[in-house]
Structure 1
Amino acid sequence: MSDFVGLSVRVQPLPDDDPEELAEITGRLRAELLDLDVMAVDPVSEATEPEHAKGLATVVGWLAVHLRAADALRGVVQAVRSWTGRTDRVVEVSLGGDTLKVTGVTSAQQEAIISAWLARHAADT
């Protein structure tokens, strides 16, 4: 494994979300991710925004997650899955341009989607 693996995590805004509300709920996800075996979980700023984001309004809700352990990727994705189930939010997790959308589908469907996505990135970690 390289020194670290960097993920982009994005809480998708609801139609009636304002930037402050989205930042607050993203902060709750960030707090949960910080409890995992990760190097850092940082809010994304305009200076560090992913290539596909466009401007400050779109970076609210984004987190940069830096992993240090090979098995941390699965833990982060499972934590996001649990969080989306409790909040009815949609979260996108991106690694190397490949994006996993974690939603409120059934548990079996989400597990199959997550397993396929993680399998594609087994060599990355």
Structure 2
Amino acid sequence: MATFDGPTGLLLQVGPDAGLDPDELTELAARLRTELLDDLDLTDAEPVEEETAPEDAKGLGSLAGALLVHFVDIEMLRAVVTSVRNWVGRTGHVVELSLGGDTLKVTGVTAKQQETMIDDWLARHAAVS
């Protein structure tokens, strides 16, 4: 089991290419956040504000719809990714997950294709200890 040195942050960005306005992105992120907090035992899942934004976030538009989700182990990361995949399947929106500079775009591709991409992405992070 991979463990991480304290809580680790996963950046979620709802619909970065969806052409939605910042208010719509913020509302979608709030719905996803509520679902994640209701369903999982997360350390934290907070909207990304300008002062807490990653260095590569450029302007408020790129922050709208962004959440920073903290987790402590690979099992929790897997649970978060599974919840995001299920949310994307229900809503039809795209979510990008970024961890340590590695980004995974969860889209409406077939379940098998998405599962393969997610498993590959998680495998890269399972080696982190």
- Relative to the length of structure 2, the TM-score reads 0.90
Larger deviation: 48-57 or 22-31? 48-57
* Equivalent in the alignment of 1:4: 7
Alignment of 1:106-121 (within 5 A): 106-121=110-125
Distance 2:11 2:102 in 1: 10
The percent of aligned pairs where both chains have the same amino acid is: 56
The RMSD of aligned alpha carbons is 1.2
Q: Could you say what secondary structure the match of 1:6 adopts?
A: strand
What is the CA deviation profile of residues 59-107 of structure 1, one whole-angstrom value per residue up to 9, with x for unaligned ones? 0110000002441000000000000011111100111000010000001
SS in 1 for 2:26: helix
How far the C-alpha of 1:33 sits from its partner, in A, is: 1.2
Contact 1:8–1:64 (Cα < 8 Å) also in 2: yes
Secondary structure in 2 matching 1:68: strand
Candidates 14, 18, 41, aligned match of 1:37: 41
8 A contact 1:37–1:68 mirrored in 2: no
Quick check: 1:44–1:62 contact (8 Å CA) kept in 2? yes
Equivalent pair of 1:38/1:69 in contact (CA under 8 Å): no
TM-score when normalising by structure 1: 0.93
Kindly report structure 1 stretches of 4+ aligned residues shifted beyond 4 Å: none
Aligned length: 124
Match of residue 25, structure 1, among 7, 28, 53: 28
5+ residue gaps, structure 2: none
Conservation of the 8 A alpha-carbon contact between 1:37 and 1:69: no
